[in-house]
Chain A
């Protein structure tokens, strides 16, 4: 976390001259110096860094060069949109990915499995933005049944603005979330399938078969539970990746989230937004790792009872 904070800070400080990026060519030297003073850029590095950390922990990342508004304000405006999009996508990817993965892992030779696999391979080959464009063309331009951009109407609940409570909002989230989840879903299908296939080859499954345990129990009790252990890790990384890929989806669908903000920031070298985004991402990753570790503890007895002695 601190490493990321430092990197973001370095970004803030050393990459180019923020003043040059902020002001036009015609700005006089005095004006520049004045701006430098107000932004605190004349202080020694370590003071700047500690100020950066203090501010970051308060959620303040300075003022956007491009939009001339506080970054914290911009982020809190955009955050709900991204989180709703990512959560819906993660849900789609995990649920369908696991179900299809288990199906293809168990029924290895059925036609449907082959079809799912071929489609999933196509899914890995389809860049997210291409899927987005195809969806827009199909559902918005040709069929005209779903909106191609924006969030629809949103309802404000305190600081949070949600699109879940209006019909237009729900309609608007369908295309972006499906687009975003497809790539991850295909990935999870393949992972779960490989995992299931490997576990079904193990001795303990063979031994369970030899004891006459029903196929249903072998698949869903013995194999799936073991197979889910790596899926949890992947699901964690998956959410992180979804946040990153939301940059693309948000651009294609002009979804007013953080990714959209970030990509504009990259194009205009708007360092405060970039570093704030980085810190946000790092925070999310740390949280996810924490949650994954806790889940591991509950699902894998080998970690849970590590402390107890091996006897016999």
Chain B
């Protein structure tokens, strides 16, 4: 089954660039493990939510707003698409994610196939 892991981190927390993540020992062992198992089918590290622009359309008017679609204490900092046998495997991977260990959270959503 395919799942998307939404990696959520607290607003105001540290912002690591992809280069910094690649060198951070907290991340490297996780990344190596994921690469080794071949379960990751895609994903991305996203720029901070302050760089987001949200589009809404009302009638024929396009409304732009600065920031993410919901203001909350956490925001989506990245996502991974994984393919594993079942939810238990997906939860196992999510619970080892460095963001989950570092005060953030990971939402595990099955892909609608």
Note whether A and B form a binding pair.
no
Binding site for A on B (CB under 8 A): none
